[in-house]
Structure formats: structure tokens, C-alpha cells
Amino acid sequence: RALAVSLRQAVAKGELELYYQPQNDAATRQLVGFEALLRWNHPERGMVSPGEFIPIAEESGLICEIGEWVLREACREASTWAQPYRIAVNVAPLQLAQTNLPTIVHEALLNSGLGASRLELEITETGIIEDQTRALHVIRQLKSLGVRIAMDDYGTGYSSLATLKNFPFDKIKIDRSFVDGVNTDRQAAAIVRATIILGSSLDIPVLAEGVESEEHLAFLNAEGCHEVQGFYFGRPLAKKALDVMLAENA
């Protein structure tokens, strides 16, 4: 409860911060983009992880206001980069249920000057399960702006194949819980392999999350995975560390 009250003021007080985790081409290892990950720099508690406060933000509906800030901030940040790296932004189920989401995204793009094709919105299956018709309508409007849509945490939700068939995804992100076991667990390896084949067959590039080792990467490359993200390529970086990385890659 106390957290819910202070979260309400966190946006205005500038306590929210975005970290950026690199996303790389699996075969060439080249940097292709970043996922923006929210952090709350709480004056007394220190860094509060999104796992702790996103659920509170969702319950209270605050996620819409926070999500709008995230979109604006991520677009503004990406517009300053010398290279046209992609920026991936998480969109909560409640945001997707808002009919004005396309307007919010459109304005974030206009105000930052970021090209729409550089923005990728990550949505989860939970976000589209409740009202599929409405979600599809909103996603079509987002796509018509030129932004990309990624299916996040693939495999952990309802994982309906109908969802992949009916929604115009530009990417599938395999959840790190599967990637973690690819070298040791036959089931995990089979699921990751099958998902890569599924994505490739549907012409949807697949990104593996939670890549932590050369062994993970070797498996994913052998299976034809397109992109990777994880501690092996980089932890989520604060803005200062991000600037250092961008300078190194310039």
C-alpha cells in the first residue's frame, strides 16, 4: 500500500529511470537494438525492481501513466543515438486495452522525431487474451503508424498458435526460462528449436532472451535463431553506461 502511494508520485518526482539492454544479431553478434527496462530509484529503498512495482502499477491503473512516460522517454533517448538502433518498449496489458494507445505512441514519435520503424512494442499474450478483437484493432492501428510489434515472453502464457496466426507480429521473443536449459534439458532444447522453426516458417524473426553463455549462443546459432539478448551480451545499462557502449560501437 505504502509503495502504491509513493509510486503515484514517483513519475512526477523523476524517480523512474530507464535501463537499456542490448539486443544482438545471433550470427554476426552485431548490436541491433536495446530493450528499455524500467527501474524505480526510490529515495529510501534504493533501486526497486519492476518485478516488485509493475504489479502494483497494474493493480492501481498507474501503469498507463507510467507506460506513457516510458514510451516518451525511450523514444526521446533513442532519437539521440548516432546509429539507427531499434528501441524495444514493454507495453502492459492495461495499456493495450486503452483505445488511445496509438495516439500516445504517435505523439511520442512526433515529439522525439524518432522514425516509427525504430520502435518495437513488446506485448504479452496476457495482453491480448482478454479482448482479442479490441487488441487486434489497437495493434493494427499501431502497425499502420509503422511501429513493430513483438510477442514477449513467448511460451509462458497461453501460447496459442491462433494468436500467432491472427496477430501481425514482427518478432517472437522466447522466454529465458526455456533458453536457460538448452544445453542441459532435452525438453527446453526441443521447445526452443521448435519455436525457432515456427517463427522462421511464419517469416517472423525469433529472439532468444536470457542468453548467458557461449554455449547458449552456439545452440541458438545452430538452430538458426535470429537475435539474442541476455547477460552474455550485456546487462541492462543505466544511461551513462549506455553512452559508453554507444561510443565504443560508433
Residues within the interface to ligand G (CB under 6 A): 21, 37-38, 49-51, 54, 67, 70, 90, 92, 152-153, 176, 209-212, 230-231, 236
Q: Considering the complex, what minimum distance in angstroms separates the CB of residue 94 from Mn ion?
A: 16
Q: Considering the complex, what minimum distance in angstroms separates the CB of residue 32 from ligand G?
A: 16
Q: Which one of residues 152, 180, 223, 227 is an interface residue with Na ion (CB under 5 A)? A: 152
Instruction: Return the number of the residue (53 or 81) whose C-beta is nearest ligand G.
Output: 53
Cα–Cα dist 25/210, whole Å: 14
Q: Which one of residues 68, 73, 120, 122 is an interface residue with Mn ion (CB under 5 A)? A: 122
- Asked if residue 125 binds Mn ion (CB under 5 A), the reply is no
Which residue do the cell numbers 504489479 mark?
55
From 44-52, 117-125, 191-199, 231-239, give the range in contact with Mn ion by CB under 5 A.
Answer: 117-125
Instruction: Transcribe 25-37 into DSSP letters.
Output: ETTT--EEEEEEE
Neighbours of 123 (CB within 10 A): 24
Q: Which three cell numbers stand for residue 68?
A: 506513457
Q: Considering the complex, what minimum distance in angstroms separates the CB of residue 171 from ligand G?
A: 12
Q: Considering the complex, what minimum distance in angstroms separates the CB of residue 152 from Mn ion?
A: 4
Q: Is 8 exposed, middle or buried (0-12, 13-18, 19+ CB in 10 A)?
A: middle
SS3 of residue 205 by DSSP: coil
Report the residue number whose CB is nearest to Na ion: 153
Alpha helices in 172-238 (DSSP H): 176-179, 186-201, 214-222
Q: Which one of residues 35, 68, 77, 153 is an interface residue with Na ion (CB under 5 A)? A: 153
Which residue do the cell numbers 554476426 mark?
28
CA dihedral 52, 56, 61, 63 (to 10 degrees): -10
61-90 residues near Na ion, rule: CB under 5 A: none
51-110 residues near Mn ion, rule: CB under 5 A: 90
Q: What's the distance, CA 230 to chain centroid? A: 12
Q: Which of Na ion, Mn ion, ligand G, none sits in contact with 231, Cβ below 5 to 8 A by type?
A: ligand G
Q: Which of ligand G, Mn ion, Na ion, none sits in contact with 50, Cβ below 5 to 8 A by type?
A: ligand G
Amino acid 20 reads Y
How many residues bind to Na ion according to rule CB under 5 A?
Answer: 2
Q: Do residues 173 and 195 make contact, with C-beta atoms less than 8 angstroms apart?
A: no
Neighbours of 159 (CB within 10 A): 15
- Asked if residue 180 binds Na ion (CB under 5 A), the reply is no
Positions touching Mn ion (CB under 5 A) are: 90, 122, 152
